[in-house]
Homo-oligomer: A and B are copies of this chain.
């Protein structure tokens, strides 16, 4: 698996960058270290100036790759969801039983202890942490409709649709497959956040995982055929 994945290049909508960060050493350093710095400082305190200092490069060089930190965040979230989508398709491929397939799919989406698959420069563990606490900022903006039109959120939406299709395969009569899928994906992240910060409003802890809760939630809503 690790072998396989390290040969894959994950493609992100090229409208989010000015210059493909995968195309140069500096670009890769920008991605690698932005993940480290955003995790460390939080997205709000993260700046291109600080990133430049951190990697010993000039601020202006970073602007040649990304117009602003918001687009960099879109890039990182897209990359994450593309990666999860890849794992989802790969992992569930060939599972005949729809319910098994859906459960396996949720498992991929809900993974808490992400493994670093050794993509040269991306630390998936830190990226996963960023997704939990920063990813919703990528769409909670005044520009969301314009950016959505430009396809910035395509990968995320495609992933949710895949889950909703799995739901429908289990129960074609279920009325809200898309809403259930989007809720499941959202909830998995939210419960991980609550587990870390607001323990009193979640049942997730060291014994109970967000995956258990969400699997139960989704499956109990469906009436499998037969």
Contacts and interface: CB of A to CB of B under 8 A. Distances in A.
A15 interface: no
Contact of A183 (B134, B161, B179, B191): B191
Contact of A197 (B144, B180, B216): B144
A175 B177 CA distance: 23
B157 A198 contact: yes
Given A42-B141, A182-B190, A203 B175 contact: yes
Contacts of A180: 213, 217
Contacts of A177: 203
29 contacts: A41-B142, A42-B141, A45-B142, A134-B140, A136-B140, A139-B197, A140-B193, A148-B197, A148-B198, A153-B198, A160-B201, A161-B201, A176-B203, A176-B208, A176-B216, A179-B191, A179-B203, A179-B204, A179-B210, A180-B213, A181-B201, A182-B202, A183-B191, A186-B186, A186-B187, A186-B190, A187-B187, A216-B221, A217-B221
Interface of A: 41-42, 44-45, 133-134, 136-137, 139-142, 144-145, 148, 153, 157, 160-161, 164, 175-183, 186-187, 190-191, 193-194, 197-198, 200-204, 208, 210, 213, 216-217, 220-221
